Amino acid sequence: MAMNLHLLVLVPVLTALAILFFKELKTVRAIALAGTALQLLLGFVLLAAFCAERAAGNTAPMLFYSSYEWFTPLGIAYTTGIDGIALSMILLSALVVLSGVLVSWKMEKLSREFFFLLLLLSAGAYGFFISLDLFTLFFFLELAVIPKFLLIGVWGSGRKEYSAMKLALMLMAGSAFVFLGLLGMYFNSQDANGLHTFDLTALSAQPLPLSAQLLFFPLTFIGFGIFGALFPFHTWVPDGHSSAPTAASMFLAGISMKLGGYGCLRVATYLMPEAAQVYAPYIVLLATIAILYGAFATMMQSDLKYINAYSSVSHCGFVLLGIGMLNETAITGAVMQMISHGLMTALFFAAIGMIYDRTHTRQLAQLGGLLKVMPFISSIFVIAGLCSLGLPGFSGFVAEMTVFMGSWQHSGNFYRLATIASCASIVVTAVYILRAAGKAIMGPVADAEHLQLGDATWNEKTAAVLLLSGIVVIGIAPFWLNDLLQPGVRGLMANIGRTLIP
């Protein structure tokens, strides 16, 4: 069964363009919903086709491969293809974007522009995950930056202009580093005709010289790391997330930070494995610091969005930790953690957004007893929290457990220590999650006016159920996800593992 991957980019772009022709919120949101629902459907069709291909014995590393020449003199082509890792990222994006549209159902202010930018962002993310050419990959990566500036600056809250500018500049700096790294790889490469190439497959087939790797790996990794909240370049995360409107927060934490993790894995580590091995201790060190620092910083927060933003720094640290360990289990765990965190944090932000829409506050001190007032929203808030602290039965447990198992396989004392320290952070996570849930959800109602408020509406419930089902399915049947990811991770390991000293 042939699948056209270009639809994944075309559908959001066409939806976005269609939105431009209408002004009414009702029409606009209906189009956005139709487009994103179609995209999710497409994602599932793709999943079915993908599984059918694999079941039929197709062992090619990338399925649905296609390549079109674009800027031929520069060796740039529009090359697309997916493996299980990319596919699961696409499904994650489709779920998050659809729920993002659903929770923005009452976006009265400039609704046309809002949904347009949201869909443009999602097109960037899909394009990024299907690209097998580093130039197009970079194109889509940058495409997913600037709409965020407008989304936060125009529709955000709090210090929105400051946050928008900080986020845009830091992410642009990240992409500047990435671009340097890509150029370095490009000029050290040769394709079949002796020309330089941006093609990921061609680049992976021939190892770059070690001297080039040592120079360009850190650039690429730090560049993508800025997207993925690598310590100490995580500072855009709290400000950006907390100022953004709900749907943009969901997108930022759910998808955008995954672009970074995915890039660190697929581009930096996969293409420059020797350098990855040299720099692995530093990656692990920074990831551990991010995990611990993020967790402790979260304890000090009193704003719900800041709590989730700092906890995202901590959770994304697990992704980088898994990548830094450079073995199959840990990398599988890292990918699982990306998906799990994407779903969980999107759900968390959705719940926080719903609470904020009703109570107009995100301060823990002003919230309390919400379970009596809005049982549905409170329940998803608690569930997202429990998933975040790694309760078995939810995806967070599966992902973090896999990362720890993989990390422990790495036998160096330093790596063991890092693993233990990261494990310990779970306790801190439990403290801040339970404290936040206890204060806001349980206990007496803090404000008598809150008693007048209503529970979630149908659209909010749908959004929550969509994300929740993803979390629960992965939590209960992790082997499905594992089977999907395994060939992809093995493919990466073929390159990464090649250089590992036994």
Residue 175: CB minimum distance to another protein, A: 9
Residue 148: CB minimum distance to another protein, A: 12
CA angle 23/460/334 to nearest 5° reads: 105
Residue 332: CB minimum distance to another protein, A: 32
For another protein, the closer of residues 95 and 167 by Cβ is: 167
Residue 17: CB minimum distance to another protein, A: 11
Residue 128: CB minimum distance to another protein, A: 11
Rounded CA separation 172/186 (Å): 20
Residue 350: CB minimum distance to another protein, A: 25
Strands in 325-481 per DSSP E: none
Residue 139: CB minimum distance to another protein, A: 5
For another protein, the closer of residues 162 and 480 by Cβ is: 162
For another protein, the closer of residues 40 and 152 by Cβ is: 152
Do 406 and 320 touch, CB atoms closer than 8 A?
no
Q: Is 457 left (phi over 0), alpha (psi -120 to 50) or beta?
A: beta
For another protein, the closer of residues 117 and 492 by Cβ is: 117
Residue 142: CB minimum distance to another protein, A: 5
For another protein, the closer of residues 160 and 358 by Cβ is: 160
Do 200 and 271 touch, CB atoms closer than 8 A?
yes
For another protein, the closer of residues 149 and 279 by Cβ is: 149
Strand partners, 303: 363
Q: For residue 162, how many other CB atoms are within 10 A of its CB?
A: 13
Side chain identity at 328, as an amino acid letter?
A: E
Residue 179: CB minimum distance to another protein, A: 6
| Burial 105-140, CB ≥16 within 10 A → b, else e | bebeeebbbbbbbbbbbbbbbbbbbbbbbbbbbbbb
Two tokens, residue 431: 């403290």
Rounded CA separation 7/176 (Å): 29
Residue 77: CB minimum distance to another protein, A: 9
Do 43 and 94 touch, CB atoms closer than 8 A?
yes
Residue 32: CB minimum distance to another protein, A: 19
Q: What are phi and psi of 233, to 5 degrees?
A: -105, 25
For another protein, the closer of residues 30 and 74 by Cβ is: 74
Rounded CA separation 232/174 (Å): 13
Q: What are phi and psi of 193, to 5 degrees?
A: -95, 10
Applying CB under 8 A, the residues found at the interface with another protein are 69-74, 76, 139-140, 142-143, 145-146, 149-150, 153-154, 160-161, 164-165, 168-169, 172-173, 176-177, 179-180, 183-184, 186-187, 215
In 210-327, alpha helices (H): 210-227, 236-243, 246-251, 257-263, 270-271, 273-299, 304-325
- Three-state DSSP at 436 gives helix
Rounded CA separation 179/145 (Å): 14
For another protein, the closer of residues 171 and 307 by Cβ is: 171
For another protein, the closer of residues 64 and 128 by Cβ is: 128
For another protein, the closer of residues 210 and 365 by Cβ is: 210
Radius of gyration of the chain (CA): 21
For another protein, the closer of residues 152 and 384 by Cβ is: 152
- Three-state DSSP at 66 gives strand
| Burial 344-358, CB ≥16 within 10 A → b, else e | bbbbbbbbbbbbbeb
